[in-house]
Chain A
Amino acid sequence: MEYFLQQLINGVTLGSIYGLIAIGYTMVYGIIGMINFAHGDVFMVGSFMALIVFLALLALGVTFMPLALLIVLILAMALTSLYGWTVERIAYRPLRGSFRLAPLISAIGMSIFLQNMVQVAQGARVKPLPPVITGGYQFGAADGFVVNVSNVQVIIVVTTIALMVAFSLIVSKTPLGRAQRACEQDRKMAALLGVDVDRTISLTFVMGAALASVAGLMYLLYYGVIDFYIGFVAGVKAFTAAVLGGIGSLPGAMLGGLLIGLIETFWSAYFTVEYKDVAAFSILAIVLIFLPSGLLGRPEVEKV
């Protein structure tokens, strides 16, 4: 039981990170119908931004962790948003109205570019962050097995929940969110009602990148090391999560992320760690056979 609880906690933590990245995939897909293959690498850039700001703060002698974390969070979000905005501006917007595959190819190019850029600028070796947040809580020591909840895990889950609530509110309640949904449902009509479609799409990329950078920071805190290649696997997993939950659906991305995190963790814990990815992708395949539009996605209906 304690073992199960421990894995549950680990799975939720991992799932939070996937969920945050998955939101970026799903929002961009919702609004322009394209898979932003560079999104995983924006996440990677986000983790590097977080690392750089963190090291700078430590060098400056900021050791009060809540403050340092807050500064890192805000700066990493801001800087990575700039990347998300730029990627859309130079690699996707010029191709809008072109054939469907063009932005997809351009996205793969962007992905490779970002990886190589970071590799050249930061080096190919793994970059460590000294363990800045330590400690945690322990439960259920009675029969010998201790359930550990580290402070990092608490921070990850709480931040994720807070951000997901905030972003859900933005999308469902604010004029910006309404404009985003309007663009998603009928871009031409949105323009007829005075919505600046290009700006709305840009802001969607900015929001996705901001969340990815938070995921990057979480990843950095959780694993302690990053390199220029982490965006690929994390990106594929988060994309899987978005598809599993139903691409285009915001709650779907969160649910999908959580599920992929849990499946991976439980499979590693109870079966073989080598096949954890097989397990995650198999579940995806099985779900898609029975629910082709994902768990919470809406079926493609012909427009009338």
Chain B
Amino acid sequence: MTEPLLSIRGVTAYYGAIAALKGVDVDVGEGEIVTLIGANGAGKSTLMMTIFGAPQARDGSIVYDGQDITRTPTHKIAQLKIAQSPEGRRIFPRMSVIENLKMGAAVTGYAHYEADLQRMFDIFPRLKERANQRGGTLSGGEQQMLAIARALMSRPRLLMLDEPSLGLAPLIAKQIFAVIAELNRTEGLTVFLVEQNAYHALKLAHRGYVMVNGQITLSGAGRELLEREEVRAAYLEGGR
């Protein structure tokens, strides 16, 4: 592998006195789908937010596209073509679907807004039906689609998705995974995916990491990890 697009080295993060990340190393190469799996409270979402500097890493370094972003303010990181669909989706509840998508396009200066909007409506036809509805009135699945679409509106090189399948009907979850795979294959979009639904995530991903208690305990090719006994135990029994 050449220089990875995102390289995380020895990152620690704290909530008050509690260590949420205890020295994490993760690489995400250009054009890859990388997944991070682990139980509730393992620190997966914290890592996603730490990459965006909220909270900032206490030690270690985060390098994106050759640039150290460990101490970069959150909004500046968002301008580097990294987009995130965060934990809990965080749709703006009192903005319409269109306005939520416009917020996603803000970092591009609305340069390709019309075309991108059309593209999102092609990928997620449901959003078109709901275009003028308030974000807070959407169903969970629709909100998830909106969160991903909003992230894509910024034309990211690196798309970070935090539990895109959480709380969704299996069919819709499958649909969303299919969209991610498609974007990766056709456009070379790099994806960093956090999932509890380890089976689907590892099947989709090129490589995977397993996180337990704020540390990476295992890593390897997606399908290879899926075969491992520890992994099966870790995600079936919820880790230790």
- A interface, CB within 8 angstroms of B: 175, 178-179, 181-182, 185-186, 188-197, 298
- Roughly how many angstroms separate A192 CA and B92 CA in the complex, as a whole number? 12
Contacts of A179 in B (CB 8 A): 103, 106
Pairwise interchain contact A178-B106, C-beta atoms closer than 8 A: yes
Is B94's CB within 8 Å of the partner chain A?
A: yes
Question: CB distance B107 to A193 under 8 Å?
Answer: yes
Q: A194 contacts B92, CB within 8 Å?
A: no
Query: Contact check: which of A182, A188, A196, A298 meets B103 at CB < 8 Å?
Result: A182
From residue A186, how far is it (CB to closest CB) to chain B in Å?
6
| Chain A to chain B: the 3 pairs with minimum beta-carbon distance, closest first | A194-B78, A194-B107, A191-B74
Would you call A193 and B54 a contact (CB within 8 A)?
no
Neighbouring A residues of B128 by C-beta, 8 Å? none
Q: Mark B115-137, 1 if CB is under 8 A from A, else 0.
A: 00000000000000000000000
Interface size on B, residues (CB 8 A): 23
- B104 close to A (CB within 8 Å): yes
Q: 19 extra interchain contacts, Cβ-Cβ under 8 A, other than A178-B102, A181-B94, A193-B78?
A: A175-B102, A175-B106, A178-B106, A179-B103, A182-B92, A182-B103, A185-B94, A186-B92, A188-B90, A190-B103, A191-B78, A192-B52, A192-B54, A192-B74, A192-B78, A192-B84, A192-B86, A195-B75, A195-B103
Against A, the Cβ 8 Å flags (1 = close, 0 = not) of B84-122 are 101000101111000100111011001000000000000
B44 within 8 A of A: no
Query: Is B196 an interface residue, CB under 8 A from the partner?
Result: no
Count chain B CB atoms within 10 A of each CB in A185, A188, A192 and give the residue with the most.
A192
Q: Is the CB of B154 within 8 A of A194?
A: yes
Shortest CB-to-CB span from B51 to chain A, Å, is 11
* B79 interface residue (CB < 8 Å to A): yes
B150 within 8 Å of A (CB atoms)? yes
In the complex, are the beta carbons of B75 and A194 less than 8 A apart? Answer: yes
Complex Cα spacing A189 to B75, Å: 10
Given A181-B95, A185-B92, A185-B95: A197 and B75 interface contact (C-beta under 8 Å): yes
In the complex the two chains form, is B54's CB within 8 Å of A191's CB? Answer: yes
Residues of chain B with a CB closer than 8 A to A175's CB: 102, 106, 110
Minimum CB–CB distance for B150 against chain A, Å = 7
Contacts of B103 in A (CB 8 A): 178-179, 182, 190, 193, 195
CA distance in complex: A186, B95 (Å): 11
23 residue pairs A–B, Cβ–Cβ below 8 Å: A178-B95, A178-B99, A178-B102, A178-B103, A178-B106, A179-B103, A179-B106, A181-B92, A181-B95, A185-B94, A188-B74, A189-B86, A191-B54, A191-B78, A192-B86, A192-B90, A193-B78, A193-B103, A193-B106, A194-B75, A194-B106, A195-B103, A195-B106
CB distance from B232 to the nearest CB of A (A): 33
Query: Chain B: which residue is nearest A188 at the CB level?
Result: B54
Shortest C-beta distance, B97 to chain A (Å), equals 13
Residues on A with beta carbons closer than 8 Å to the beta carbon of B52 = 191-192
